[in-house]
Amino acid sequence: MTARQQRMVAVGLVLVGVALAVGLAIRAFDDNLLYFFSPTQVAAGEVPEGKKFRLGGLVATGSVSRQPGDLAISFDVTDNNRTMRVVYTGVLPDLFREGQGIIAHGTLQADGTFVADEVLAKHDENYMPPEVAQALNEQGHPAGAPR
């Protein structure tokens, strides 16, 4: 093999290696994305099956239930069009309460219950996560209006 052919083989191998690395990086990036969905979008079947996603909306009034001394809690999240049951085990943020905007990270179970790994609450009375505000605006809820 001539020196030119050896260089061409080396360049070809480098290009194949770079293409493989880029492909693996894009796949890893796609696997780690968390998409946001409202309860209406989940009910419409827009959720990717078997993947984690973010569910956002308002904690429905009167829906929070927990056993004393237990970290397990369940509550409903609503966008004022649809409501979903959320189950979470862990310590909730201090600002979590009924009527507040939240985002929960987790997965959808076959029975339609959302099992959350993490629950995030808004940080002051004027802030609402942009995704939650947009979803509520689309449903015609005034709480989603910018303040």
- Between 44-48, 79-83, 111-115, 129-133, the lowest mean confidence (pLDDT) is in 129-133
The proportion of the chain whose per-residue pLDDT surpasses 70, expressed as a percent, equals 89
Helical residues (DSSP H) of 72-127, grouped into ranges: none
* DSSP three-state, residue 141: coil
**Contact between 37 and 54 (Cβ < 8 Å):** yes
3-state SS string for 5-24: HHHHHHHHHHHHHHHHHHHH
Q: What is the pLDDT of residues 82-102, one digit of tens each?
A: 999 999 998 888 888 888 889
Give me the pLDDT at residue 146, please. Answer: 46
Domain 36-144 has CATH 2.40.50.140: yes
Q: Please give the span between the terminal C-alpha atoms of the chain, in angstroms, as a whole number.
A: 72
Tokens of 73: 């809690």
Place of tokens 């959350």: 116
Helical residues (DSSP H) of 32-113, grouped into ranges: 39-43
pLDDT above 70 (res 125)? no
86 membership: H or E segment, kind and range: strand 83-89
The proportion of the chain whose per-residue pLDDT surpasses 90, expressed as a percent, equals 37
Annotated domain spans of the chain: 1-32, 36-144
**Contact between 65 and 74 (Cβ < 8 Å):** yes
Give me the pLDDT at residue 69, please. Answer: 83
Give me the pLDDT at residue 26, please. Answer: 86
